Structure 1
Amino acid sequence: MAKQISCDRSHQRYDMCTVNATTVLEPTTSTFFLVEPTQALVEKVRPYPRKWETSVMGRIKEVSLTSGPPSPSCQVHHSAPALVFSAGGYTGNVFHDFNDGFIPLFITVKSIFPDGNYVLVIHNCRRWWESKYADLLHTLSKHPIVNMEKANATHCFPYAHVGLISHGFMTIDPTLMPSSINLTHFRGFLDAAYAQNHPFPSPNISEQKARPRLVLVTRSGGAGRHVLNQGDLNNAAEEVGFHVILFHPTPTTSLREAYALINSSHAMMGVHGAALTHSLFLRPGSVLMQVVPLGLAWAAETCFGNSSRELGLEYMEYKIGEEESSLADKYGNDDIMVKDPVGAQGKGWSTKIMDVYLKEQNITLDLVRFRRHLKEAYNKANKFMRNKG
């Protein structure tokens, strides 16, 4: 007989706990009580899939699963089980919203609830977050969300799972999934959430004569990794044949509108950063070019290179030279921060060191060199446009 309360703590990235019997949630204490316990047990779990990162996990509120004292009476009855997770941590950064949130949520749902019948019970479910991701949340579950911070009544469920499964950065491992589900299925989920409201128009004669559309992701100067000759870059992209659309996402950017723009485009380009998460909206076969600053080769490949290939994109990288980085002016060409970023970083991800590459570094592209990459991107995007519209 399965334990009524059990936890799998064997994974590096996440813990998953389960109440395998009727349970009552008391939201003010974030506690799930067994209704008819047969064992004396208490388990605690922080339902956010960055278990290895103690600093952020310390900000995630614990959920308790207990067989005693006796459960409170049930005020709201649910016929579907609960899936519990936290929208705290790094939530608010669009990369983490997907990497730590919706991709693990999709993995968990497909692994544990193949019938799609479950209730999302969410910690740190802030109003702006629920509004921004409403299309995704409603596509995931037909039931209303239970917001732990706002709930003041007890809720009972036939059983509950607490935690999200993660396979790594921006990925889904099909060998760990039923029916070999992978990242392209997650892309299909995004289509289901957004494409019904913004269907892509069928190609026509004028479309065939159009220039391929390039979404050029821009950054503000104060955030680091800003292209200092942005205007010249825009002109160069237009000159090689692109129709350039500038895209400067903010925390309030509508994902429905972002999807409509990017899904109908043929290429996307930008400096490594969270905004490139919107490349999930690109159609398979379209182009993603990531400009990689000094010291960020591993992050660029891990966050967006691998996922782009999994999604069937034409992925391109442009690794800047020392002379294109503002760090050369700040530290000097012979400084280890410029000459040997890997050596400067040592064996681990040092926040102090990485802040140099993430926040202090801006870029002046060598447009003579970069133009060759633009032309290659144009040829790929133009071919995609001719074939797919």
Structure 2
Amino acid sequence: MDPTFATSAPLVEKIRPYPRKADSWIMSQIKELTLTSSPLDLTGSCDITHDSPAIVFSAGGYTGNIYHDFIDGFIPLFITANSIYPDRDFIIVVVNPKEWWMPRYMDVLGAFSKHKTILLENENASSITHCFTSAVVGLISHGPMTINPTQLPNSRSLVDFHYLLDEAFNTNLSTFKTQKPRLILVSRYGNNVGRVILNEEKIREMLEDVGFEVIIFRPSKTTSLKEAYKLIKSSHGMVGVHGAALTHLLFLRPGSVLVQIVPLGLGWVAKTCFESPAKAMKLEYTEYRVNVGESSLIEKYSEDDLVLKDPIAFRGVDWNATKMNVYLKEQDVRLDVNRFRQHMNKAYEKAKSFMDIDG
């Protein structure tokens, strides 16, 4: 070791370990960490010394929405770990975790690393100085719900991420045998949530008539992730309106069916959020585009209004919160049962084929 370097002042950096660097508002909500780099603990300032490196990231920001839990957290963590520590010999350090976060994601974290996760969750914990052999602070992201195998040394993909979840939840499908293709109908519910299927009961009846065993799935923050994983993995398909709950597509077996119902004005975001990941997951992806007559917006706007007539022109170049809320919050759907039946007949054939081959 260079003795000059050994006696020099430590290098100090401050960083907010959250991947949305361009979002100045949310970045201001992320706890700032102080990192000190030195070859030796010259001042005896380490409260706890670890023999392994660390990956440090924040569970603050948009955490609490399952879509963001995965695209801002676990998928970038998967990319970072496989880029730098594929042997899993690293310690996960989490900043800003909410009280419910660790119990909900304990199984997932355990699949990433053989070491116990460290939570910096309050002022007392954050005042402790942890020393590691080295640390990666912040996560590598390839984009929303995206893993680019060409950018990883071991060519890992979104399918491999699914297998990591499989390891985390240790699911045995032998207890989930069914005589009909099992379809998970993701149900949006509650006041002012938007994108609710207003005739959901009629849709459920139609789907059962088509031949599916239909299970209504209404996830919440208190839903057991392990039980959700078992349920969805045991299915042969999933259908739901565009929304965060479709993140559960990551729980589907490759080869099963995903049908995304795309409300008016949301085609581009539907593609980015769920179509591209579904195809990367090797799912049989189809989408059902809601027409103007099936959108509740027709009750609020005239047929000549750009909101209905030309959503792209209405949005323009400034896709701001006000315009976003028109399509995401104000809009519910009342599906044309016969038109949707034709679409789901094809989905049934794919799901039945998958069931016959993979059980």
Residue in structure 2 matched with residue 30 of structure 1 by the alignment: none
The 5 Å alignment of 1:61-80 reads 61-66=31-36, 71=43, 73-80=45-52
Residue in structure 2 matched with residue 229 of structure 1 by the alignment: 199
Q: Distance in 1 between matches of 2:129 and 2:36?
A: 15
Report if aligned partners of 1:122, 1:147 keep a CA contact under 8 Å in 2.
yes
The 5 Å alignment of 1:224-373 reads 224-373=194-343
Structure 1, residues 107-161: CA drift from partner, whole Å, max 9, x if none? 0011011221111111112231000000001111121222123425322111111
Q: Distance in 2 between matches of 1:188 and 1:304?
A: 19
Report if aligned partners of 1:37, 1:67 keep a CA contact under 8 Å in 2.
no
The DSSP-based 3-state class of the residue aligned with 1:133 is helix
Residue in structure 1 matched with residue 84 of structure 2 by the alignment: 112
Q: Distance in 1 between matches of 2:152 and 2:227?
A: 31
Q: Distance in 1 between matches of 2:263 and 2:49?
A: 53
The DSSP-based 3-state class of the residue aligned with 2:87 is coil
The yes-or-no answer on 1:374 pairing with 2:341 is no
When residues 67 and 110 of structure 1 are mapped into structure 2, their CA distance, relative to the original with a 3 A threshold, is closer
The 5 Å alignment of 1:34-45 reads 36=6, 38=8, 41-45=11-15
Report if aligned partners of 1:228, 1:362 keep a CA contact under 8 Å in 2.
yes
When residues 71 and 110 of structure 1 are mapped into structure 2, their CA distance, relative to the original with a 3 A threshold, is farther
Residue in structure 2 matched with residue 58 of structure 1 by the alignment: 28
The aligned amino acid for 1:201 is S
Residue in structure 2 matched with residue 167 of structure 1 by the alignment: 142
Deviates more, 1:288-297 or 1:119-128: 119-128
> Taking structure 2 as the reference length, what is the TM-score of the superposition?
0.93
Residue in structure 1 matched with residue 189 of structure 2 by the alignment: 220
The DSSP-based 3-state class of the residue aligned with 1:251 is coil
Report if aligned partners of 1:48, 1:57 keep a CA contact under 8 Å in 2.
yes
Number of aligned residue pairs: 350
- Cα drift, residue 175 of structure 1: 1.2
Q: Which of 147, 157, 164 is equivalent to 1:182?
A: 157
Q: Distance in 2 between matches of 1:116 and 1:244?
A: 39
Q: Distance in 1 between matches of 2:213 and 2:348?
A: 10
Residue in structure 2 matched with residue 153 of structure 1 by the alignment: 128
Q: Distance in 2 between matches of 1:355 and 1:271?
A: 16
- Cα drift, residue 64 of structure 1: 2.3
Q: Provide the alpha-carbon RMSD of the alignment.
A: 2.0
Q: Distance in 2 between matches of 1:356 and 1:185?
A: 37
- Cα drift, residue 66 of structure 1: 3.7
Report if aligned partners of 1:72, 1:154 keep a CA contact under 8 Å in 2.
no
Residue in structure 1 matched with residue 93 of structure 2 by the alignment: 121
The yes-or-no answer on 1:200 pairing with 2:176 is no
Q: Which of 91, 94, 103 is equivalent to 2:66?
A: 94
> Taking structure 1 as the reference length, what is the TM-score of the superposition?
0.86
Deviates more, 1:320-329 or 1:68-77: 68-77
Residue in structure 2 matched with residue 85 of structure 1 by the alignment: 57
The DSSP-based 3-state class of the residue aligned with 1:270 is strand
The DSSP-based 3-state class of the residue aligned with 1:179 is coil
The answer for unaligned runs of 5 or more in structure 1 is 2-34
Report if aligned partners of 2:82, 2:154 keep a CA contact under 8 Å in 1.
no
Structure 1, residues 356-383: CA drift from partner, whole Å, max 9, x if none? 1111100000111111011011111011
Q: Distance in 1 between matches of 2:352 and 2:45?
A: 63
When residues 378 and 158 of structure 1 are mapped into structure 2, their CA distance, relative to the original with a 3 A threshold, is same
When residues 80 and 275 of structure 1 are mapped into structure 2, their CA distance, relative to the original with a 3 A threshold, is same
Deviates more, 1:237-246 or 1:113-122: 113-122
- Cα drift, residue 40 of structure 1: 6.3
The percentage of aligned residue pairs carrying the same residue is 53
The DSSP-based 3-state class of the residue aligned with 2:195 is coil
The answer for unaligned runs of 5 or more in structure 2 is none
The aligned amino acid for 2:151 is L
Deviates more, 1:251-260 or 1:148-157: 148-157
Q: Distance in 2 between matches of 1:253 and 1:372?
A: 32
- Cα drift, residue 36 of structure 1: 4.6
Residue in structure 2 matched with residue 20 of structure 1 by the alignment: none
Q: Distance in 2 between matches of 1:53 and 1:270?
A: 29
Structure 1, residues 51-91: CA drift from partner, whole Å, max 9, x if none? 11111111111222245997552222210011111000000
Q: Distance in 1 between matches of 2:293 and 2:43?
A: 66
Deviates more, 1:160-169 or 1:49-58: 49-58
